[in-house]
Amino acid sequence: MSLVVVSNRITRGNANEPITGGLAAALLPIVEKSGAIWVGSSGRVRDGVQKEPFAEVEALGAGALAMLDLPAAHYGGYYEGFANSALWPALHSRADLIRVSQGDYLSYREVNAFMARALLRFRKPDTTFWIQDYHFLALGAELRDLGVNQPIGFFLHTPWAPRDVIEGVPHHRELVEAMLAYDLIGFQTEDDCENFSNYLSSTLDLMVEDGVVMSQHGTTRIAVFPIGIDVEKFTRQAAKAVSHPDVSRLRRSLNGEKLAIGVDRLDYSKGLVNRIKAFDRMWTAHPSLARTVSLLQIATPSRGAIEAYGNLQNELAKLVSDVNGLHGEVDWTPIRYLNKGFSQTVLAGFYRTAQVGVVTPLHDGMNLVAKEYVAAQNPDDPGVLVLSKFAGAANELDTALLVNPHDIDCMARTIATALSMPLLERRMRWEAMMAKLERRSIQQWFSSFVEALQQARSEGEALTQPV
Ligand code: F6P
């Protein structure tokens, strides 16, 4: 079998290249090892590519990377428009932030159709297609329209919201009906899968039985595949990274002070405002903690052209400056706030340096930062993870300190608890989390999905064969 993996964002994974978003970091090792072709956006747009898709192809480990220039006329409507101003807010239960026009939807469909045409170049008789994320909900249907009859799977990295929120997305019916062209649809958590199944039965009036739904396209299996990380690689990387110049500089700057760390894309789903407020409240309630702990918050900008993101960037910059102005001293900055990305190696070293990892999204499909923070710890002296119960990762990492990211006082108390947790308790919690990470690695995620996809395809074919 040859495998073609498709996602909007892709990465070459160069040692010093900053990695934005969990998806690219997660797919990189499996493409490198499995020999798959990974197709995605080059980040550039072009006029006149609609008819002649242009892709630059290069080797990536045992696999290959195909970077596609997307059509200039449709890119904005597709990426900033429908994908990130309609689908993203809805999937994260922020129907209030949905802003979309009919033109955006048409551009989204155009780019999905364009990608389908571009994929034909990589199709062989034994090819399996695996499509990633909400940018390409309709790609499976477009491939089928072009006559592709090979297995096509889809995995959603974000949450799938309850049905009333999804119904706030213009053309939701058309899109979900198009999704049923996939043989297998994978979700991060049972809740997401259940929400999708409720949508199918209540909104589309379809019957879902034992995780299988029948539609005009044939059968589609829906199931849960929680994504993991390459635990061994990350652990090794973190231990080695302590000698990296950026990591050494961070360590030296601490002067015996403890460090809490947050690493996120600058996104309203990540709960950054509440997190900063929780630190503010902690320093107000426990003035003795001033100078003994600071927060390193890395907030990597993405989707900056969208109003909600621009507003958030301004709000955060002001909030951080207010908190630093209030609690800071001539020789102490409470919050080190950085709007740039770092390579995986450097991040691994930062995680190992920090005594507390704060991962407090309001909603998150999985959140691989939580998993990476755990994997990066020194087994002899592990740090503590403070984790939102609304991140998919909380299902597995249930010995983290779980918090409600809307309850700022409780988060402030929990961060203080994390800072003073005795070594024995830290070790017990960390060991339990590591055992779960090892059981559900990225390799296991990859092979279980691909195997389930082959099976779903053959079961589907058997069911729809005339007897
Ligand atoms: O995890 C969700 C996701 O959209 C991924 O698809 C992507 O890797 C990440 O967030 C980054 O988003 P963007 O490419 O829009 O910056």
- Give the distance (Å) from ligand 1 centre to CA of residue 188: 15
- Give the distance (Å) from ligand 1 centre to CA of residue 68: 17
**Nearest CA residue ID for atom 16, ligand 1:** 302
Give me the sign of the Cα torsion angle 193, 198, 199, 200. Answer: positive
Mind listing the pLDDT tens digit for each residue in 331-367?
999 999 999 999 999 999 999 999 999 999 999 999 9
Rounded mean pLDDT, 202-230: 97
Mind listing the pLDDT tens digit for each residue in 181-214?
999 999 999 999 999 999 999 999 999 999 999 9
Neighbours of 330 (CB within 10 A): 5
> Residues 92, 135, 157, 217: which is the catalytic one?
157
- Give the distance (Å) from ligand 1 centre to CA of residue 84: 10
- pLDDT confidence tier of residue 463, bands split at 50, 70 and 90: confident
- pLDDT confidence tier of residue 174, bands split at 50, 70 and 90: very high
Helix axes 368-375, 344-353, angle to 10 degrees: 60
pLDDT of residue 77: 98
- Report the complex ipTM: 0.95
Atom index in ligand 1 nearest the CA of residue 88 equals 4
Residue 66 reports pLDDT greater than 70: yes
Rounded mean pLDDT, 118-126: 95
Catalytic residue list contains 157: yes
Residue 369 reports pLDDT greater than 70: yes
pLDDT of residue 13: 77
pLDDT of residue 53: 81
Tokens of 90: 């809805």
Tokens of 449: 């999905």
Q: The whole model's pTM is what? A: 0.96
- Give the distance (Å) from ligand 1 centre to CA of residue 265: 9
Helix axes 22-34, 442-464, angle to 10 degrees: 80
Atom index in ligand 1 nearest the CA of residue 24 equals 8
Q: Is the CB of 251 under 6 A from ligand 1?
A: no
Beta bridge partners of 358: 386
Mind listing the pLDDT tens digit for each residue in 412-437?
999 999 999 999 999 999 999 999 99
SS3 147: coil
Pocket test for ligand 1, best of 5, 8, 137, 340 (most atoms within 8 A of CB): 8
Atom index in ligand 1 nearest the CA of residue 133 equals 6
d(CA 443, CA 26): 10
pLDDT of residue 467: 60
Residue 124 reports pLDDT greater than 80: yes
- Give the distance (Å) from ligand 1 centre to CA of residue 21: 5
Nearest to 222 by CA among 190, 174, 266, 247: 190
**Nearest CA residue ID for atom 10, ligand 1:** 21
Neighbours of 202 (CB within 10 A): 12
pLDDT of residue 51: 73
Tokens of 229: 């990380």
Q: Tokens 């589309």: give the residue.
A: 204
Pocket test for ligand 1, best of 11, 20, 41 (most atoms within 8 A of CB): 20
- pLDDT confidence tier of residue 19, bands split at 50, 70 and 90: confident
State the pairing for strand pair 258-265/293-300. Answer: parallel
- Give all domains of the chain, ordered by start, each with its CATH number: 2-228+442-455 (3.40.50.2000), 231-439 (3.40.50.2000)
Task: Please name the residue ranges forming H helices in 208-343.
Answer: 231-241, 245-254, 272-285, 307-327
Question: What is the overall mean pLDDT for the chain?
Answer: 95
Q: Is the CB of 21 under 6 A from ligand 1?
A: yes
Rounded mean pLDDT, 99-103: 93
For residue 66, give the amino acid letter.
A
SS3 261: strand
Mind listing the pLDDT tens digit for each residue in 253-310?
998 999 999 999 999 999 999 999 999 999 999 999 999 999 999 999 999 999 999 9
pLDDT of residue 466: 64
pLDDT of residue 24: 86
Q: Is the CB of 157 under 6 A from ligand 1?
A: yes
d(CA 448, CA 467): 30
Task: Please name the residue ranges forming H helices in 35-124.
Answer: 72-76, 88-91, 102-119
